[in-house]
C-alpha cells in the first residue's frame, strides 16, 4: 500500500526540520563587533604554541636528530603560519556573512579557499628560501626558483628537506584554521600551559645533555618567560570572556576598562618576569648579558639601516639647497693648475667614496633621532591630554557582580596587612583603648542597619520575592519595585544606607538610624499590614 500524500509531506517536513536542527547545532556564532579580548586571544594561543614548538626544534637541532645542527625551520615561522591562516579565515568568514549568502548546504565551503592555497604556497616558499637559498640568492631573484626546480628534478638530498618544510607549513596552517574555529576557554588555556611547560622542560634537559651552542641557550632560556607571560594574559582574557558570556549576571561595567586593566596588570607582571629572568640568567652565567647583547644585534642593525635611510632621504631633499648655496659662493683664490697625471692615477671608483653630507649627518642622526622621537611622543601625549574633555558626574553608587581588579581594594588590604604587623610588634595601649569604644559604636550601628536589611530580605522572601544569589542590593530593589508600585522612597533609603555601610564603610548617626527604623516600620505597615514586627528590632 502506497503512503498517502499527507504522510509524505509530514515525513519530508520532519526530515527538513531535523536537517535544520543539525545545521544549527554545527553552526558557530561570530560576534559582529568583537572586542579586544576576542581579537587578541587566538594570537596569544598561537604565540604559546610557537614557544613550545621552538623549544622542541632547538632540542632536536642540538641532538643532531635530522643530521642538521640548525633548526628545521626559522623560529618565527610557526607563529607566522598559525596567525596568518587564523586571521585569513576569520576575514573570509566575516566577508561572507556581510554578503548575506545562503547557508543551506552543510558541505558548503568558505568562499576564497584559493587564498589559502596562495597563502600556504607563498609562506612555504618564503621559509624554503630563508632556510636553504638565502645565502646564495635574493628573494626576488628568480634564479633560486630555478635552483629549486633543479634540485626537484635531480632528487638531491636538499629536496627532501624542502618536502619536510612544506609538510610543516601545511600542518601549522591547519593549526591556525583549527584555532579560528575553536572556542577558547580557561581550561583549554591551562591545559596548553601544562603541555607547553612539559615540552619546554624536556627540551631543556635534552639540550643540556647534548651540549648546544650558547646562542641557542639564550633563546631557549628566553622562551620560558615569554611562554609564561603569554599564558597568563591568555588565561586572564579567556576567564573574562567565559564569565561575560556564561555568568547569569555577566560582568557589569565598561568592557574596554576591564580589558585595559587586565592588560596593564599583566604587562607589569610580564615586566617583573623578564627582570627576574635576567637576574637569574646573570647570576647563573656571568656571560649571559654578553649573549643578550649578541642576540639584540639584529635590532641594532635594523636601527642602523633606518638611520641610513633617513640620512640619505634628508640628503636627497636638501641637496638642491646646498647646490644653490654653492652658486652664491664667491671664490677669491686663483685656481691652480695641477700637473698632468696618467689616466690610471685619475680613475677612482665612485663606489669607494661616500657623500660627505651623508658622512656628516650619520653621527648626528644617531643622537638626534632618539631625542626627537622622545620629544614627539611627549608632545603627542600632551596633545591628547589637552584634547580630552571631562565633566564631573554624580552617579548613583551601584554594585558590580564581578570585579576583575581594584587598585583601591588592593592598596587598602596591603595597608591593613602592614598596619597589623606594625601594631603586633609596637602596640599602643591608649590609642587602642580609645579606638575600641569608637569601634564598638560603629559595630553597633552596623548591626542595626544589617538587621533591618536582613528583616527586609526575610519579609520579601516570605511574600515570594526572594533575593537571587547573583543580585546586588540595587538590582534587587529595582526588581522589587517592579512587583510593588508603592514604597519606592522607603525601599530606596534602606538600600542606599545598606550599600553605604556594606561597601563604603560609612558610620551613621543615631538620627539616621532612627530614620531608617521609621522607614522600615512605614514599609511594613503600608505594604504588609499582616506581617509581624521582627523581634530582633
Q: Residue 430: pLDDT band by 50, 70, 90 thresholds?
A: very low
Contact 237, 41 (CB under 8 A): yes
Find the DSSP H helices in 285-355: 288-295, 297-327, 343-346
Is the pLDDT at 112 greater than 70? The verdict is no
* CA atoms of 120 and 114, how far apart (whole Å): 10
- Res 529: pLDDT: 53
Q: What gap in Å lies between CA 232 and CA 189, rounded to an integer?
A: 9
Listed residue (507, 480, 506) closest to 492, CA to CA: 480
306-313: which pairs have CB atoms within 8 A and are 24 or more residues apart? 307/362, 307/365, 307/366, 307/369, 308/358, 308/362, 310/365, 310/369, 311/358, 311/361, 311/362, 311/365, 312/358
Task: Give the three cell numbers for residue 210.
Answer: 647534548
Confidence band for 431, pLDDT divided at 50, 70 and 90: very low
Mean pLDDT computed over 130-159:
80
Cα-based distances in Å from 226 to 229, 262, 277, 483: 5, 17, 10, 54
Between CA 293 and CA 298 the distance in angstroms is 10
Other beta carbons within 10 Å of 417: 10
pTM here is: 0.51
Q: Tell me, what's the pLDDT at 291?
A: 62
Computed over every residue of the chain, the mean pLDDT equals: 72
pLDDT category at 33 given cuts 50, 70, 90 is: low
| Alpha-carbon torsion (492, 495, 501, 503), positive or negative | negative
Q: For 503-508, which contacts have Cβ atoms below 8 Å and span 24 or more sequence positions?
A: 503/397, 503/399, 504/397, 507/441, 507/442, 507/445, 508/445, 508/449
Residue 123's alpha-carbon distances to 119, 134, 138, 190, 455, in angstroms, are: 6, 14, 16, 30, 69
In this predicted model, what pLDDT tens digit does every residue of 262-290 receive, in sequence order? Answer: 888 888 888 888 788 777 766 666 666 66
The residue with greater pLDDT, 374 or 50, is: 50
From 49-58, 288-297, 341-350, the region with the lowest mean pLDDT? 341-350
Radius of gyration from C-alpha coordinates of the chain: 36
Length of the chain: 537
Q: What is the pLDDT of residue 319?
A: 72
Q: Where would I find the H helices in 26-142?
A: 36-62, 77-98, 113-128
pLDDT at residue 149 tops 50: yes
Alpha helix ranges (H) inside 388-508: 407-425, 429-462, 473-483, 488-504
Name the least confident of 252-266, 438-452, 478-492: 438-452
In this predicted structure, which of 71-80, 136-145, 331-340 has the lowest mean pLDDT?
Answer: 331-340
pLDDT score for 125: 86
Give residue-wise pLDDT tens across range 201-229.
888 888 877 766 555 677 787 888 889 99
> Residue 238: which pLDDT band, with cuts at 50, 70 and 90?
confident
Mean pLDDT of 444-471: 74
pLDDT at 223: 87
What percent of the chain is predicted at pLDDT more than 70? 61
What is d(CA 237, CA 40) in angstroms, rounded to the nearest whole number? 9
196-208 pLDDT, tens digit each: 989 888 888 888 7
What is residue 512's predicted lDDT score, i.e. its pLDDT? Answer: 82
Domain boundaries, the chain: 34-100+111-295, 427-527
Give the pLDDT band of residue 77 (cuts 50, 70, 90).
confident
Taking each helix axis from N to C end, the angle separating 157-181 and 77-98, rounded to the nearest 10 degrees, works out to: 50
Give residue 30's pLDDT band: very low, low, confident or very high (50, 70, 90).
low
Q: What is the pLDDT of residue 110?
A: 52
Mean pLDDT for 448-464 is 79
Distance in angstroms (rounded) separating the CA atoms of residues 469 and 482: 19
Neighbours of 92 (CB within 10 A): 17
At 35, the pLDDT band (50, 70, 90 cuts) reads confident
Taking 50 as the threshold, does the pLDDT of residue 156 lie above it? yes
CA distance 479 to 205: 61
State the pLDDT confidence band at 375, using cuts at 50, 70 and 90: low
As a whole number, mean pLDDT of residues 114-132 equals 82
Least reliable range by pLDDT among 96-110, 141-155, 156-170: 96-110
More confident residue, 377 or 151: 151
pLDDT at 101: 47
Amino acid at each position: 500500500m502506497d503512503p498517502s500524500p499527507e504522510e509524505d509531506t509530514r515525513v519530508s517536513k520532519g526530515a527538513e526540520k531535523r536537517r535544520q536542527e543539525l545545521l544549527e547545532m554545527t553552526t558557530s556564532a561570530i560576534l559582529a563587533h568583537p572586542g579586544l579580548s576576542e581579537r587578541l586571544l587566538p594570537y596569544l594561543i598561537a604565540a604559546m604554541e610557537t614557544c613550545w614548538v621552538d623549544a622542541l626544534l632547538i632540542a632536536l637541532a642540538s641532538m643532531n636528530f635530522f643530521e642538521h645542527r640548525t633548526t628545521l625551520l626559522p623560529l618565527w615561522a610557526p607563529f607566522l603560519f598559525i596567525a596568518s591562516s587564523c586571521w585569513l579565515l576569520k576575514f573570509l568568514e566575516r566577508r561572507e556573512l556581510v554578503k548575506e549568502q545562503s547557508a543551506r548546504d552543510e558541505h558548503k565551503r568558505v568562499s576564497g579557499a584559493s587564498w589559502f592555497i596562495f597563502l600556504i604556497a607563498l609562506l612555504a616558499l618564503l621559509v624554503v628560501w630563508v632556510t636553504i637559498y638565502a645565502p646564495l640568492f635574493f628573494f626576488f631573484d628568480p634564479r633560486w626558483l630555478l635552483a629549486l626546480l633543479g634540485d626537484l628534478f635531480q632528487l638531491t638530498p636538499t629536496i627532501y628537506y624542502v618536502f619536510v618544510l612544506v609538510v610543516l607549513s601545511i600542518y601549522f596552517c591547519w593549526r591556525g584554521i583549527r584555532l579560528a574555529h575553536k572556542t577558547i576557554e580557561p581550561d583549554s588555556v591551562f591545559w596548553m600551559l601544562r603541555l607547553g611547560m612539559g615540552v619546554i622542560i624536556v627540551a631543556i634537559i635534552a639540550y643540556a645533555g647534548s651540549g648546544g651552542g650558547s646562542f641557542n641557550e639564550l633563546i631557549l632560556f628566553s622562551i620560558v618567560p615569554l611562554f609564561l607571560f603569554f599564558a597568563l594574559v591568555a588565561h586572564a582574557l579567556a576567564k573574562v570572556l567565559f564569565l561575560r558570556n556564561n555568568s547569569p549576571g555577566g560582568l557589569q561595567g565598561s568592557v574596554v576598562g576591564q580589558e585595559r586593566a587586565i592588560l596593564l596588570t599583566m604587562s607589569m607582571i610580564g615586566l617583573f618576569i623578564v627582570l627576574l629572568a635576567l637576574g637569574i640568567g646573570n647570576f647563573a652565567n656571568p656571560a649571559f648579558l654578553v649573549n643578550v647583547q649578541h642576540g639584540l644585534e639584529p635590532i641594532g642593525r635594523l636601527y642602523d639601516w633606518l638611520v641610513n635611510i633617513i640620512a640619505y632621504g634628508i640628503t636627497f631633499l636638501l641637496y638642491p639647497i646646498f647646490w644653490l648655496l654653492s652658486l652664491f659662493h664667491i671664490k677669491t683664490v686663483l685656481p691652480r693648475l695641477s700637473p698632468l697625471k696618467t689616466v690610471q692615477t685619475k680613475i677612482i671608483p665612485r663606489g669607494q667614496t661616500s657623500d660627505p653630507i651623508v658622512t656628516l649627518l650619520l653621527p648626528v642622526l644617531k643622537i638626534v633621532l632618539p631625542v626627537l622621537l622622545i620629544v614627539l611622543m611627549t608632545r603627542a601625549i600632551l596633545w591628547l591630554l589637552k584634547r580630552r574633555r571631562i565633566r564631573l558626574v554624580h552617579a548613583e553608587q551601584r554594585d558590580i557582580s564581578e570585579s576583575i581588579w581594584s587598585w583601591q581594594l588592593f592598596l587598602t588590604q596591603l595597608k591593613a596587612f602592614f598596619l597589623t604587623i606594625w601594631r603586633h610588634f609596637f602596640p599602643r595601649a591608649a590609642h587602642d583603648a580609645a579606638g575600641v569604644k569608637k569601634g564598638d559604636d560603629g559595630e553597633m550601628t552596623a548591626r542595626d542597619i544589617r538587621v533591618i536589611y536582613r528583616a527586609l530580605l526575610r519579609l520579601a522572601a516570605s511574600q515570594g520575592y526572594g533575593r537571587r544569589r547573583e543580585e546586588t542590593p540595587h538590582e534587587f530593589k529595582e526588581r522589587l519595585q517592579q512587583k510593588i508600585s508603592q514604597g519606592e522612597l522607603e525601599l530606596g533609603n534602606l538600600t542606599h544606607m545598606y550599600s553605604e555601610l556594606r561597601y563604603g564603610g560609612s558610620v551613621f548617626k543615631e538620627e539616621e538610624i532612627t530614620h531608617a527604623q521609621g522607614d522600615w516600620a512605614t514599609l511594613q505597615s503600608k505594604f504588609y499590614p499582616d506581617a509581624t514586627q521582627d523581634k530582633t528590632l
